[in-house]
């Protein structure tokens, strides 16, 4: 690499100005227009001095010369139609690239000679002199297409093979380092032959990740440029229509990364200068106060931009897939490719319906979503087979036979050139496209079981073996009986402690995994069984001291009442105190552990995850970080059901007077596929007051199975309840169950026939359980019964919104 750069060292010699070797100089066509002259503007004394110094510099470099021209140029220049490449087309060519080089020209326009006969047309005036350019000036009408033409000619056949240019931004891309050296040498040769000069300080050479055209590119992934995002995030609240519209247009540059962009930004589009009155200087500068809806849209866009927005660059070696959906207000779609590790998103789109389109029947709206998505992504889909997934069953034969709906039939004929198959996907699995088609401004969580944070701590641990209980769970009542000094060792607290008394003496405990009191490890929440958090106390201290903000707080701790320092570590005052987590990947690691892992998160909703992490760690804006992580969790998006309630007055069951007074029981299934253990149903029971849940995977849904579960898993472990509410299924109305209830002394209540909402609490848990099990299971979901205990455990040991308590307590 060094040899190649030294070989082309002339390119970086900036001691003298350079004019490139071109077959012709740039010409400015003005047709038959006569010369136009404008008097110079008045400037301040300060600007006069700056103007004088700049003109002297340009004269010295030969970029301008004195002139007698009467021309005023841009409005009468014949426009050059040479094409500028599309940015998305450029990025599409990076799918196989691993190494990149970007080239920055030193004042690129000033290296292009100007035809002597057209120099007078570039004239400009100062207070006491008249000048004209000898080279291509910046700001001239045809400057961009002219420069694009010159660079494209120099790159020649290498364009779209391993080099591309967007105006004066040239990039070289290659799949291997050896190939990249060859390509780099070739392009530098071409630029050297053309006598170009480069700005060495702005060139990025042989990088595996690179910033280009406002995006960050790395290993077939593309993200928005961090500096551009930072500038958007620092934008103050708009006070004029011009400021509001500028913010929307700046954010719109990254709209393909933002699901539902058009819907989110819609309230701010009213400030677009679409009419002559709106385009007036007075209208654009008039002070405004954003409404609540507009302010919400402004803040929502800024919040989404804080996410790790990443898309995959299209790769022609993998099949394409589109998921589409339509709602009452618009359509949404996501373009994906099926890779060995799953479906990866390439782009999102959303579009609001017009008033007329809102009145279309559902089949036309759903069909329009398909039409719009295919036309939008025609470049990727034309000439190859692809799959469309929709949750609208009537569209399955759309491309196979004539449609009765005339509009859909016209659309069907329009799509005859494409080769695609339509596959039905259940609505709960089409959540990404569904989300795009609906208003994405809703701040609701995916999990109804939200909570208001309290001081309770849930106990979380990874088991040594999936079939064993490593340590008992401690209730809040038992925790109060423990010595107070326990909270002093919060950072090295063990969830597997052999000295703790078991909640129930009958529970088998594997003591081989339990560390002794004098063998406490230094890893935070680590046990010898399984390392849960991948850092130690010492590593956390080191990371804290590498963070400038935390260092500042530590050195000025007297000014921060909410913090204190313990053992050279910054702690947040809370109950119990928690360590402050520095910036960087450590924060996302913690969120991932308490949301994704089976024993600690099980993909439960936003507020459950927040509660778990708040009891252990602290960092600024952690709630927003957790929300954004969960919003972008693909397993949650795919599997979490919608929470829309049917209309009508609710008539809830009267709350029982105490725990174990009223239980609800139900079978859930059959679940497809059947597991390797032969289980295809789940029988579950929940306490209406405490929300405590008991579950078991079973092979069938017979009365004998229900009776066995009730005796072995409920009564013998937790005691006899007063009442049990079930549906009217034969497994609960059979003589065997009637006799069992009578013998034990349990009152058996039945829900309203054909109305499962009567037993709504257990139906609600069924929906939550389905989503979490699906998120944790393997790709074929043949081990869902192995994940069921983890989901139940996490549900019972985290705060419930309705009660404000942990069900286990």
Give the pLDDT confidence score for residue 709 in this predicted structure.
92
3-state helix, strand and coil shares in percent for the chain, rounded to the nearest 5: 40, 15, 45
- Model confidence at 676, pLDDT cuts 50, 70, 90, reads confident
- What CATH number should be reported for the domain holding residue 60? 3.30.70.270
Q: Is the pLDDT of residue 474 over 90?
A: no
Cα gap 616→355, rounded to integer Å: 50
Residue 326 included in any domain: yes
- What CATH number should be reported for the domain holding residue 423? 3.30.420.10
* CA nearest neighbour of 266 among 334, 329, 308: 329
Q: Is the pLDDT of residue 131 over 90?
A: no
Mapped onto helix, strand or coil, the DSSP state of residue 385 is strand
Q: Is the pLDDT of residue 498 over 80?
A: no
Q: Considering 305, 337, 364, which residue would you say is the last residue of a domain?
A: 305
DSSP 214: T
Q: Considering 219, 249, 277, which residue would you say is the last residue of a domain?
A: 219
Same domain membership, residue 60 and residue 17: yes
CA 688 to chain centroid, in Å, comes to 36
- Model confidence at 76, pLDDT cuts 50, 70, 90, reads low
Same domain membership, residue 231 and residue 212: no
Give the pLDDT confidence score for residue 549 in this predicted structure.
87
Give the pLDDT confidence score for residue 443 in this predicted structure.
31
Same domain membership, residue 632 and residue 720: no
Cα gap 745→741, rounded to integer Å: 6
- Whether 755 and 728 have beta carbons less than 8 Å apart is answered as no
Same domain membership, residue 180 and residue 279: no
Task: Please give the average per-residue pLDDT across 426-430, as a whole number.
Answer: 61
What pLDDT digit, counting tens, does each position of 725-771 carry?
Answer: 888 888 888 888 888 888 888 988 887 654 445 555 666 666 667 76
Give the pLDDT confidence score for residue 457 in this predicted structure.
30
For 112, residues 6+ apart whose C-beta sits below 8 A from its C-beta are 19, 20, 22, 25, 26, 135, 136, 146, 147, 150
Who has greater pLDDT, 503 or 785? 785
DSSP 296: H
CA angle at residue 10 from 5 to 11, to 5 degrees?
75
Cα gap 431→435, rounded to integer Å: 6
Q: Is the pLDDT of residue 173 over 90?
A: yes
Give the pLDDT confidence score for residue 581 in this predicted structure.
92
Highest mean pLDDT among 135-139, 300-304, 567-571: 567-571
DSSP 659: T
- Model confidence at 510, pLDDT cuts 50, 70, 90, reads very low
- Model confidence at 15, pLDDT cuts 50, 70, 90, reads low
Highest mean pLDDT among 144-153, 262-271, 678-687: 678-687
What pLDDT digit, counting tens, does each position of 439-465 carry?
Answer: 333 333 333 333 233 332 333 333 333
Average pLDDT of the chain, as a whole number: 75
Q: How many domains does the chain have?
A: 5
- What CATH number should be reported for the domain holding residue 488? 1.10.340.70
- Cβ-based neighbour number of residue 414 at 10 Å: 12
Cα gap 349→372, rounded to integer Å: 9
Same domain membership, residue 376 and residue 236: no
Q: Is 493 exposed, middle or buried (0-12, 13-18, 19+ CB in 10 A)?
A: middle
Cα gap 639→777, rounded to integer Å: 11
pLDDT over 70, % of the chain: 72
Residue 750 included in any domain: yes
Cα gap 806→809, rounded to integer Å: 6
Give the pLDDT confidence score for residue 605 in this predicted structure.
76
Who has greater pLDDT, 680 or 669? 680
Task: Tell me the residue range of the domain where 199 lies.
Answer: 2-219
What pLDDT digit, counting tens, does each position of 361-418 carry?
Answer: 888 999 999 999 999 888 888 888 899 998 888 888 887 777 778 888 888 888 888 8
Residue 77 included in any domain: yes
Q: Is the pLDDT of residue 642 over 60?
A: no
Cis peptide before 576 (omega within 30 of 0): yes
What pLDDT digit, counting tens, does each position of 58-67 carry?
Answer: 777 777 666 5
Give the pLDDT confidence score for residue 22 in this predicted structure.
54
Residue 51 included in any domain: yes
Cα gap 797→809, rounded to integer Å: 8
Q: Is the pLDDT of residue 625 over 50?
A: yes
Q: Is the pLDDT of residue 140 over 80?
A: no
Residue 470 included in any domain: no
Same domain membership, residue 241 and residue 139: no
Give the pLDDT confidence score for residue 524 in this predicted structure.
36
Residue 445 included in any domain: no
Helices (H), 22-157: 45-60, 87-92, 143-155
- Model confidence at 491, pLDDT cuts 50, 70, 90, reads very low
Give the pLDDT confidence score for residue 570 in this predicted structure.
92
* CA nearest neighbour of 139 among 154, 151, 155, 122: 122
Who has greater pLDDT, 623 or 20? 623
Please spell the DSSP secondary structure of 237-248, one letter per residue. PP-BHHHHHHHH
Same domain membership, residue 157 and residue 42: yes
CA angle at residue 488 from 483 to 490, to 5 degrees?
105
Cα gap 567→571, rounded to integer Å: 10
Mapped onto helix, strand or coil, the DSSP state of residue 564 is strand
* CA nearest neighbour of 369 among 343, 395, 344, 336: 395
Q: Is the pLDDT of residue 37 over 60?
A: no
- Cβ-based neighbour number of residue 666 at 10 Å: 25
Residue 693 included in any domain: yes
Same domain membership, residue 203 and residue 56: yes
Same domain membership, residue 716 and residue 584: no
Cα gap 442→606, rounded to integer Å: 14
Whether this prediction's pTM lies above 0.75 is answered by no
Give the pLDDT confidence score for residue 388 in this predicted structure.
92
Residue 81 included in any domain: yes
Give the pLDDT confidence score for residue 66 in this predicted structure.
61
Same domain membership, residue 629 and residue 497: yes
Same domain membership, residue 52 and residue 168: yes
Give the pLDDT confidence score for residue 370 in this predicted structure.
92
Q: Considering 256, 282, 305, which residue would you say is the last residue of a domain?
A: 305
Same domain membership, residue 329 and residue 432: yes
């Amino acid at each position: 690499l060094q040899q190649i750069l030294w070989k082309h060292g002339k390119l970086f010699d900036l001691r003298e100005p350079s004019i490139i070797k071109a077959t012709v100089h740039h010409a400015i066509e003005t047709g038959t227009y006569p010369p136009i002259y404008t008097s110079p503007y008045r400037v301040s004394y300060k600007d006069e001095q700056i103007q004088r110094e700049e003109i002297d510099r340009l004269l010295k470099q030969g970029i301008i010369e004195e002139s007698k021209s009467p021309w005023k140029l841009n409005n009468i220049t014949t426009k050059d139609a040479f094409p500028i490449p599309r940015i998305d087309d450029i990025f599409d060519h990076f799918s196989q690239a691993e190494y990149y080089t970007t080239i920055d020209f030193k004042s690129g326009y000033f290296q292009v000679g100007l035809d002597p006969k057209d120099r007078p047309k570039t004239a400009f005036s100062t207070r006491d002199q008249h000048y004209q350019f000898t080279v291509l000036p910046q700001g001239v009408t045809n400057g961009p297409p002219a420069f694009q033409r010159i660079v494209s000619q120099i790159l020649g056949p290498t364009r779209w093979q391993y080099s591309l240019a967007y105006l004066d931004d040239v990039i070289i891309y290659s799949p291997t380092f050896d190939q990249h050296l060859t390509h780099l040498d070739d392009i530098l040769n071409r630029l050297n032959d053309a006598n170009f000069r480069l700005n060495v300080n702005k060139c990025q050479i042989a990088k595996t990740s690179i910033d280009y055209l406002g995006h960050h590119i790395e290993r077939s992934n593309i993200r928005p440029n961090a500096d551009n995002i930072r500038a958007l995030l620092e934008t103050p609240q708009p006070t004029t229509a011009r400021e509001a519209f500028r913010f929307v247009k700046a954010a719109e540059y990254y709209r393909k990364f933002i699901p539902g962009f058009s819907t989110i930004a819609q309230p701010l589009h009213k400030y677009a200068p679409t009419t002559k009155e709106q385009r007036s200087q007075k209208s654009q500068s008039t002070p405004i106060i954003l409404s609540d809806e507009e302010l919400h849209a402004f803040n929502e866009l800024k919040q989404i931009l804080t996410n790790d927005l990443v898309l995959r660059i299209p790769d022609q070696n993998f099949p394409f897939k589109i998921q589409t959906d339509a709602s009452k207000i618009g359509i949404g779609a996501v373009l994906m490719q099926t890779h060995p590790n799953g479906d990866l998103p390439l782009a999102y789109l959303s579009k609001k319906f017009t008033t007329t389109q809102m009145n279309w029947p559902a089949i036309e709206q759903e069909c329009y979503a398909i039409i719009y998505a295919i036309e939008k992504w025609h470049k990727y889909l034309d000439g190859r087979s692809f799959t469309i997934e929709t949750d609208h069953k009537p569209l399955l034969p759309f491309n196979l036979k004539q449609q009765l709906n005339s509009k859909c039939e016209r659309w069907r004929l329009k799509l005859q050139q494409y080769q695609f198959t339509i596959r039905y996907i259940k609505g709960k699995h089409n959540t990404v496209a569904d989300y795009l088609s609906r208003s994405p401004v809703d701040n609701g969580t995916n999990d109804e079981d939200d909570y208001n944070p309290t001081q309770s701590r849930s106990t979380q641990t990874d088991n040594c073996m999936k079939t064993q209980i490593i340590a008992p769970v401690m209730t809040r009542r038992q925790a109060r009986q423990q010595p107070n000094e326990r909270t002093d060792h919060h950072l090295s607290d063990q969830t597997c402690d052999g000295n703790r008394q078991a909640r129930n003496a009958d529970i088998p405990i594997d003591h081989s995994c339990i560390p002794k009191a004098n063998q406490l490890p230094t890893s935070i929440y680590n046990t010898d069984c399984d390392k849960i958090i991948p850092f130690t106390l010492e590593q956390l201290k080191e990371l804290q001291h590498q963070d400038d903000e935390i260092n500042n707080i530590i050195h000025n701790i007297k000014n921060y009442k909410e913090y204190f320092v313990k053992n050279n570590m910054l702690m947040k005052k809370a109950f119990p105190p928690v360590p402050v987590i520095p910036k960087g990947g450590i924060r996302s690691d913690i969120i991932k552990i308490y949301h994704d892992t089976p024993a600690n998160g099980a993909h439960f909703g936003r507020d459950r995850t927040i509660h778990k992490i708040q009891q252990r760690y602290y960092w600024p804006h952690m709630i927003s970080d957790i929300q954004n992580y969960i919003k972008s969790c693909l397993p949650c998006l795919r599997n979490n059901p919608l929470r829309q309630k049917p209309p009508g007055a609710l008539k809830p069951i009267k709350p029982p007077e105490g725990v174990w007074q009223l239980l609800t029981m139900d079978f859930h299934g059959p679940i497809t596929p059947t597991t390797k253990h032969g289980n295809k149903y789940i029988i579950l029971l929940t306490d209406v007051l405490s929300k405590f849940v008991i579950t078991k995977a079973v092979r069938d849904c017979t009365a004998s199975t229900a009776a066995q579960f009730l005796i072995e898993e409920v009564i013998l472990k937790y005691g006899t309840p007063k009442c049990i509410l079930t549906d009217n299924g034969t497994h609960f109305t059979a003589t065997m169950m009637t006799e069992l209830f009578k013998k034990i002394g349990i009152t058996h209540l039945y829900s309203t026939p054909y109305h499962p909402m009567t037993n709504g609490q257990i139906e609600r848990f069924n929906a939550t359980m389905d989503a979490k099990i699906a998120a944790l299971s393997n790709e074929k979901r043949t081990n869902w019964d192995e994940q069921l205990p983890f989901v139940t455990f996490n549900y019972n040991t985290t705060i419930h919104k309705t009660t404000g308590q942990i069900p286990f307590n």
